[in-house]
Amino acid sequence: MTNKNGIIALTIVVALISVYYLSFTFVSRNIKSKAVAYATDAKGEVDMTKKQHYIDSLWREDVYLGHTLQEVMERELNLGLDLQGGMHVVLEVAPADILKGMAGGNARSAAFQSALKKAGEDKSANNSTFINRFVSAYKEAAPNTSLASVFATSANRGKINSNSSDSDVIKMLKTEIDGSIDRAFQITQARIDKFGVTNPNIQRLPGQNRVLVELPGVDNPERVRRLLSGAAKLEFAEVYLTQELGAGLEGLGRYLTQQAEIEKAAKKSAPATASADTAASDTTKKSTAGGLAAQLEQKSDTAATDSAALAAQSAALTSLFVPMPQGLGVYLKDTARASEILRRPEVRSLFPADLVFMWDRKGTEAGGNQLILPLYFIKKTNGEAAMEGDVIVDATHDYDDRGRPEVTMRMNGEGARKWRSLTARSVGRPVAIIIDNLVYTAPTVQGEIPNGNSSITGSFTVEETKDMANVLKAGKLPAPTHIVEEAVVGSSLGAEAINDGLMSSAVGLLIVLVFMVAYYNQAGWIADIALLINLFFLLGVMASLGAVLTLSGIAGIVLSIGMAVDANVLIYEGIKAELAEGKPFAQSIRDGFKHSLTAIIDSNVTTLLTGIILYTFGTGLVLGFATTLVLGLLTSLFSAIFITRLLLEQKLKNGKTFAFATNLTKNWFKDNDFDFVSQRRRFYVISGIIIAIGVGSFIFKGFGLGIDFKGGRSYVVRFENNVDADALRANMDDVLGSTTEVKTFGGQDQVKITTPYLIEDTTPEADQKAEAKILEATQKIANNPAKIVSSNKVGPTMAKDTLWSAVYAVLLALAANFVYILIRFKRVAFSYGAVMSLAHDVVIILAIFSLFNGWLPWSLDIDQAFIGAILTMIGYSMNDTVVIYDRIRDYLADEKSRGQSLSTVINNALNSTLSRTAVTGISVILVLIVLMIFGGAVIRGFTFCMLLGVIVGTYSSLFVAAPIVVDLLQRSQKNEPAPAVAADATAPAATKKVKA
């Protein structure tokens, strides 16, 4: 083995990296366990506020190898929403809303409204397509009207004018819409930061006017809906200075001192706290500034003099509040406590009635890994700020005369008047720019600004000025965000999913390990060690890349383990073939690896192509599966090619040999002589009959479309006792006034309800009303209480986009595999055979899903999960087909095949791969059966599709893909006979095996 030392070094490095990154997961889980113990009362109930307080107290503290708890949690292997509960939301900014805002009063014209309606009819249109459709429709409705006459308003001055061409207007519209999506993303990010969720995932979906938000652990969906929906509120307000609030701040100091005395007295009379409580207190005291309670309990002396009391008040104030240029700040871990204190009526009475406390949107580093969040004293008269953001006409980032980044903004006439008055009375004082009750910046006014044109300068970076310009423009356009897709998973369902996932993983892995030993004897143990190392590397790589482990991801891990067997099987079968020729043991191992490498690379590349397509087009369940599948393929290749060989050669060091088969399996698949070629027409007929029945079912019965593709709402509802789905369906139809689909889901006490009820209504109130109606219908089932454990919503725009993405993904997978096989095998016959075989597999799976929909006790809906399973099946089937093609190619090129008929050569090739096909197929099928049994209801339909795909894919590789190659090669031989083989297609089956 060349570069053996290099491979060993690389293996050690990968192992150390895996250990390092996985260690963060163990540390994080340990701290979370302590937080739960700290927050659990005598009745066993967890106080979530107390738990969060424990975590906050360590958030900026060094807890592991110089890393803070925040950094540890960011590096841990995160669990997806389906494993820990939470909420998944896709927000959309409607281009129609942007256009109406930019047109101003012109948006009320009949031509504009008609064009807007027509442009919105294509629910799958992206931003660019929407604009083009609108322009085309508007030109039809008002053929002699320029676009500039509609959009050259005062709000757009400086970008276009009344003489601008239509192309300039279109360019401006597209730029502004893209900018609005960026603003929506930034506003959403700020809102989520304010919400206080640990490890949220917020990203703009590329090429779309949508923002994806994932909030693990959220248990209040209604609050999230209200937080994320609606337009941002931009305000300009005056700021109180600390020197103007001396009396109030002194009163606050006295109040904090009194509270410290009360807390200290309560602690003296209370029994000893739990060890977790003590740990939290000790940790807090170690911090640079310390937590509020830890610091206050040091500042009590009831016999103190007046001067000592004043000193104590000052100390109490500064221990919680830190002086800052704009006023005061609070250490991040103490903000929850500070907010609660500032809301108390006795504290509010100390300050002016028009004063509002507001936090800065981001913290300031204070050394020692501490983060201080600035607190502003905002002036609002009757709850209203001096100005609101709708007066902003435009805002851009620029550079001042000294080359420093700055932000310029321009206001309309009304805004200019208000701004002049506000700046005139605020010279030398800060004016806060507020969005969603968070202060983005508070620049000091240098002088009265009479015309509404202003610049904001400071120690800004270019990125900061761009962000600020976007924030200022947020109030310009009526661009509320709408929730077009939503999924809520209850924590109890997440806990069950973890148990299901762990059980399926453990059982699936055990079955594969036992099967390999049972089939390959001592060599099977080496393969098992390589598989376990592969699993360890896979988890380590996922942790290092920040991947999220989902329930479907666990399915991907288990399946990748099953498919990782394939590489070992190819190697072992190659070694067995070399040993059968009488070669020495060591040489057989070397040659076995050498001759199997091409098939391993080709088969895995085709599966990898499909996995990449899954990753590119998939979301949710499909994306989680694709992530682990792709990473699993890469780590399994490394483990099979390098780790397995290192282990085998290590055993050879002592001159030992070992068996590659047991007494039971040593003669399996030996001297196979099945005549695949002459039977091909019979299998064409069998496949044709199944496809014909399927097409009939497509026409007369159709498919059960999931809400991914048709839109709607779905709920998983759990009852205390078994429930009659038909009776519940009647109740649902009666309450909702529409046809409702009710199916048993994972047990007789649980159902999945799907309905189009209020799906066009994007307001948070609609979601709340829909859930109330669902519960109202369940309450009609006497003596059987129910609760919603998860919910999902997909709007019509999202559904259509998802459907087309799925179609593109399948077509792209077929095209990619066609091209790759053409490049590798250099004959169109192989590409045609592979693609026809894949099309055959897809149609048969669709036929089964159509025929048996409603008959099986799990979902057979056509949804994203189904498409993910279909693409996975394409990858597996192509893997199988490529291995067979690789052997056919070798046999056709082998000199021993010269003079033999084409049918004889291909029969020999197919028979020689039967052992590999059977062993790999059995391994993967066993794993999928385990997933079917233990994987849980959420992925049962997904797993069923993959199980069918493996069976059908194995069948088609042998009886469809290879025979098609025979037919096409024979046809080409009529025009250009190949000297390597005879053209006799009717020759009898081979009686002599020819080795590659």
Q: What is the pLDDT of residues 104-118, one digit of tens each?
A: 788 888 888 888 888
pLDDT, residue 108, reads: 85
Which pair of structure tokens corresponds to residue 724? Answer: 């009659």
pLDDT, residue 378, reads: 92
C-beta pairs of 653-660 under 8 Å, 24+ apart in sequence: 657/585, 658/521, 658/522, 658/523, 659/520, 659/521, 659/522, 659/523, 660/520, 660/521, 660/522, 660/523, 660/572, 660/575, 660/576, 660/579
User: Mean pLDDT score of the chain, rounded to an integer?
Assistant: 77
Sheet holding 392-399, edge to edge: 392-399, 405-411, 453-457
Instruction: Give mean pLDDT, residues 750-756.
Output: 82
Residue type, 224: V
Say yes or no to pLDDT of 399 above 80.
yes
Which pair of structure tokens corresponds to residue 839? Answer: 């099309």
Are 567 and 645 in contact, with CB atoms under 8 Å apart? no
Cα distance between residue 611 and residue 615, in whole Å:
6
pLDDT, residue 367, reads: 63
CATH classification of 712-794 is 3.30.70.3400, yes or no? yes
What pairing do the DSSP bridges indicate for beta strands 355-359 and 387-388? unpaired
Contacts of residue 87, defined as CB under 8 A and 6 or more positions apart, other chains included, come to 81, 213, 214, 215, 218, 221, 224, 486, 487, 488, 489
pLDDT, residue 356, reads: 92
pLDDT, residue 290, reads: 34
Which pair of structure tokens corresponds to residue 836? Answer: 């026809």
pLDDT, residue 286, reads: 36
Say yes or no to pLDDT of 252 above 80.
yes
Contacts of residue 832, defined as CB under 8 A and 6 or more positions apart, other chains included, come to 964, 968
pLDDT, residue 974, reads: 62
Q: DSSP letter at 357?
A: E
CATH classification of 386-477 is 1.10.540.10, yes or no? no
> Dmax over Cα atoms in the chain, in whole Å?
114
Tell me the pLDDT tens digit for each residue of 22-40: 999 899 889 888 888 888 8
pLDDT, residue 263, reads: 64
Q: DSSP letter at 384?
A: B
pLDDT, residue 379, reads: 92
pLDDT, residue 302, reads: 36
Which pair of structure tokens corresponds to residue 516? Answer: 């390999």
Contacts of residue 663, defined as CB under 8 A and 6 or more positions apart, other chains included, come to none
Helix/strand/coil (H/E/C) assignment for every residue in 409-448: EEECHHHHHHHHHHHHCCECCEEEEEECCEEEECCEECCC
Say yes or no to pLDDT of 739 above 60.
yes
pLDDT, residue 746, reads: 66
Instruction: Tell me the DSSP string of 781-828.
Output: STT--EEEEEEEEE-HHHHHHHHHHHHHHHHHHHHHHHHHHHHHH--H
Q: How many CA atoms lie within 13 A of 113 on its CB side?
A: 4
Q: Give 357's pLDDT tier (boundaries 50, 70, 90).
A: very high
Instruction: Give mean pLDDT, residues 981-996.
Output: 38
Are 891 and 619 in contact, with CB atoms under 8 Å apart? no
Residue type, 806: A
Q: Give 938's pLDDT tier (boundaries 50, 70, 90).
A: low
Domain boundaries, the chain: 4-76, 99-204+218-230, 242-268+289-377, 386-477, 490-700+801-975, 712-794
Same fold? 386-477, 712-794? no
Q: Which of 91-105, 183-197, 530-544 has the lowest mean pLDDT?
A: 183-197
Say yes or no to pLDDT of 809 above 80.
no
Instruction: Give mean pLDDT, residues 400-421.
Output: 86
pLDDT, residue 355, reads: 93
Instruction: Give mean pLDDT, residues 690-716.
Output: 81
Tell me the pLDDT tens digit for each residue of 709-731: 777 788 888 888 888 888 888 88
Alpha helices in 76-220 (DSSP H): 81-84, 95-103, 110-119, 127-141, 148-151, 166-195
From residue 232, how far is each of 99, 212, 602 by CA, in Å? 17, 17, 52
pLDDT, residue 497, reads: 64
